[in-house]
């Protein structure tokens, strides 16, 4: 008998922790609507996955995800016999009202059906199905004596926001390709769909650019140490070849995650100035130094002369060839532009361009990148400092210095991704510093993350559509290992996933924590280091 019923479109979301045969339902992020029923569908070696066309591609992903722990492969097929118990995966245009990422999941004792308008929806239905099964199904090796039961349920689900992201930072401490791929796997389980990779900064250049080989020959080789209290730590040399990038991009795409590359400019550019001193202020002085000495002499700020513009546009050309993402992030933050004000060459540049001050020169430089990306059908993304001096209509603002930049940008008609330090900086401590791994500072406990709403009241109702979503940041100055990275990310990223996906009106922290206690067992089975709940 059905426990509770809800039609799609009603704002209230049912609690998901009540008992039914087949066990608790503790899905993260919380689905929009749930109907519960008694009974369960038992997955056995004879169970088939029925799918055709594009749905069959997603069906293979389900079979591959479940096979290692189950000890058998659910055989994909294009049809089933009458009365045969099967998992059906199907695309249906009538569900277009749920959007490209929405889905319906129906489980009866006789059948599991995942239906969506687009393949991404089927993929997210798979992630929910994985969470309905016992946590042991996530193990990478066979588990004996486990009944693979799926509780009977009907779920109608779709995300609140189209941008649900995390950021990782191999520029500060390089992250091996295989570690990036595993990070993507865990993201997919939580229905994230954007991974921003901070590829360049003062501490390192991490992407191969064919036209400028010294970017990786020199720019990836800084002797940068993790700032432990005793001054020791691992070195972080390394970069991604273009083949590495292609593999990461494809691996992410298979999981319906878009990789958003970030190439920092005009500040946070020390690694490229070391490699090509002609990009910097006072280039003759820099060029006279040995490369290792340039690390300490460069200000990290490029000089926006015409040749510098050409250099970065050349870089972005190769970046666009590697990353199909519509959005390309160029940083634009924290520029110490007073150095331009005090430099005779840059003073002359401002005069030639008829610019009032260094703020105008910063805006001029950003505008060159925006026009270039726009001419290639891409959209520039930058941190909220790019608002100074005005922006072209297609630019997307990532608001990190609180919400004011995002509010101003959205009200001015610009797309916005909310990423404020107050709620989304996962490089902050999660508790008392003395009992936590070394972090950059701050304090961001789980409850504070969960409390966040990415749509501030100060955004006009007709401009709310410009809020694309939300993103959590894992800046890497103090994060040198995968275990540390996961510890800083989870369970805070689980809270952020729910903010990005689930209905605002359904938020209930105590109920979330109740589901999270079960969800952490999944992370434990996956071998993911996480901070225990208080």
- The predicted pLDDT at position 8 comes to 27
Rama region for 346: left / alpha / beta (φ>0; ψ in -120 to 50; rest):
alpha
User: Is the same domain home to 223 and 356?
Assistant: yes
CATH of the domain at 278: 3.20.20.80
Domain that holds residue 82: 1-158+510-534
pLDDT at 296: 84
> Which pLDDT value is given to residue 11?
27
Q: Are residues 130 and 185 in the same domain?
A: no
136 and 168 housed in the same domain: no
User: Considering only CA atoms, which of 398, 18, 23, 30 is closest in space to residue 190?
Assistant: 30
pLDDT in tens for each of the 534 residues of the chain? 233 333 322 222 333 333 333 347 899 999 999 999 999 999 999 999 999 999 999 999 999 999 999 999 998 999 888 878 899 999 999 999 999 999 999 999 999 999 999 999 999 999 999 999 999 999 999 998 888 999 999 999 999 999 999 999 999 999 999 999 999 999 999 999 999 999 999 999 999 999 999 999 999 987 554 444 444 555 578 999 999 999 999 999 999 999 999 999 999 999 999 999 999 999 999 999 999 889 888 999 999 999 999 999 999 999 999 999 999 999 999 999 999 999 999 999 999 999 999 999 999 999 999 999 999 999 999 999 999 878 888 899 999 999 999 999 999 999 999 999 999 999 999 999 999 999 999 999 999 999 999 999 999 999 999 999 999 999 999 999 999 999 999 999 999 999 999 999 999 999 999 999 999 999 999 999 999 999
- Please check whether residues 292 and 230 belong to one and the same domain: yes
The answer on 515 and 447 residing in a single domain is no
Q: Are 219 and 285 in the same domain? A: yes
Task: Note the Cα 482 to chain centre separation in Å.
Answer: 16
pLDDT tens column, 254-274: 999 999 999 999 999 999 999
- 266 and 302 in contact (C-beta within 8 Å)? yes
Residue among 76, 74, 66, 75 nearest 141 (CA) = 66
Which residues, at least 6 apart from 402, have a Cβ–Cβ distance to it below 8 Å? 420, 421, 422
Give the whole-angstrom CA distance, residue 229 versus residue 30: 40
Residues 435 and 496 reside in one and the same domain: yes
Token pair 């694309």 is found at 468
Cα 183 to chain centroid distance, Å, stands at: 10
pTM for the whole thing? Answer: 0.94
Same structural domain for residues 330 and 294? Answer: yes
Into how many domains does the chain fold?
2
Taking the C-alpha atoms of residue 534 and residue 518, their distance in angstroms, rounded to an integer, is 15
Whether 174 and 236 have beta carbons less than 8 Å apart is answered as yes
Q: Are residues 82 and 124 in the same domain?
A: yes
Residues recognised as catalytic: 201, 268, 334
* Helix (DSSP H) and strand (DSSP E) numbers for the chain: 18, 17
Q: By the 8 A CB rule, do 115 and 102 touch?
A: no
Residue 189 shares a structural domain with residue 107: no
Per-residue pLDDT reduced to its tens digit, 372-388:
999 999 999 999 999 98
Give strand ranges (E) for 194-276.
Answer: 194-198, 200-201, 204-205, 258-265
> Does one domain contain both 223 and 319?
yes
Local structure of 33: helix, strand or coil: strand
- Same domain, yes or no, for 453 and 348? yes
Cross-strand pairs, 135 = none
- CATH code of residue 525: 3.30.379.10
């Amino acid at each position: 008998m059905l426990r509770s019923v809800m039609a799609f479109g009603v704002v209230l979301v049912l609690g998901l922790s009540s008992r039914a045969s087949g066990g608790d339902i503790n899905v993260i992020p919380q689905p929009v609507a749930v109907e519960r029923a008694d009974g369960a569908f038992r997955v056995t070696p004879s169970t088939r996955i029925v799918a055709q066309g594009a749905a069959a591609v997603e069906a293979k992903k389900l079979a591959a995800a479940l096979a290692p722990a189950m000890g058998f492969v659910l055989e994909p097929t294009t049809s089933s016999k009458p009365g045969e118990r099967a998992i059906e995966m199907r695309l249906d245009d009538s569900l277009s009202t749920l959007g490209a990422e929405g889905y319906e999941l129906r489980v009866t004792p006789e059948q599991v059906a995942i239906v969506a308008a687009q393949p991404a929806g089927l993929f997210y239905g798979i992630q929910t199905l994985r969470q309905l099964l016992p946590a042991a199904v996530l193990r990478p090796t066979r588990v004996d004596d486990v009944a693979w039961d799926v509780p009977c349920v009907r779920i109608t689900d779709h995300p609140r926001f189209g941008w649900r992201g995390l950021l990782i930072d191999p520029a500060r401490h390089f992250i091996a390709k295989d570690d990036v791929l595993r990070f993507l796997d865990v993201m997919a389980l939580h229905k994230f769909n954007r991974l921003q990779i901070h590829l360049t900064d003062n501490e390192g250049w991490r992407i191969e650019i064919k036209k400028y080989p010294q970017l990786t020959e020199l720019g990836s080789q800084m002797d940068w140490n993790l700032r432990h209290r005793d001054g020791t730590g691992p070195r972080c040399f390394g970069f991604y070849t273009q083949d590495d990038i292609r593999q990461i991009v494809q691996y992410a795409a298979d999981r319906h995650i878009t990789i958003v590359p970030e190439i920092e400019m005009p500040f946070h550019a020390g690694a490229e100035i070391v490699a090509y001193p002609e990009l910097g202020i006072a280039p003759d002085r820099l060029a006279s130094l040995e490369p290792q000495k340039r690390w300490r002499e460069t200000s990290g700020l490029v000089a926006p002369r015409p040749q510098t513009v050409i250099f970065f546009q050349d870089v972005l050309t190769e970046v666009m060839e590697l990353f199909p993402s519509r959005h390309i992030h160029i940083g634009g933050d924290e520029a110490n532009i007073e150095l331009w004000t005090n430099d005779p060459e840059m003073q002359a540049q401002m005069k030639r361009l008829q610019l009032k001050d260094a703020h105008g020169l910063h805006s001029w430089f950003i505008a060159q990148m925006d026009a270039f990306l726009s001419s290639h059908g891409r959209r520039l993304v930058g941190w909220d400092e790019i608002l100074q001096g005005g922006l072209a209509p297609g630019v997307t603002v990532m608001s990190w210095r609180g919400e004011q930049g995002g509010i101003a940008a959205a009200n001015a008609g610009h797309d916005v991704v909310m990423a404020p330090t107050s709620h989304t900086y996962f490089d902050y401590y999660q508790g008392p510093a003395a009992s936590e791994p070394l972090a950059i500072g701050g304090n961001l406990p789980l409850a504070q993350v969960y409390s966040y709403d990415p749509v501030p009241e100060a955004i006009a109702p007709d401009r709310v559509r410009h809020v694309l979503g939300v993103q959590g940041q894992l800046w890497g100055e103090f994060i040198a290992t995968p275990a540390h990275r996961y510890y800083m990310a989870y369970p805070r990223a689980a809270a952020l996933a729910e903010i990005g996906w689930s209905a605002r009106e359904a938020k209930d922290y105590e109920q979330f924590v109740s589901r999270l206690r079960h969800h952490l067992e999944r992370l434990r089975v996956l071998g993911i280091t996480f901070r225990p709940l208080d």
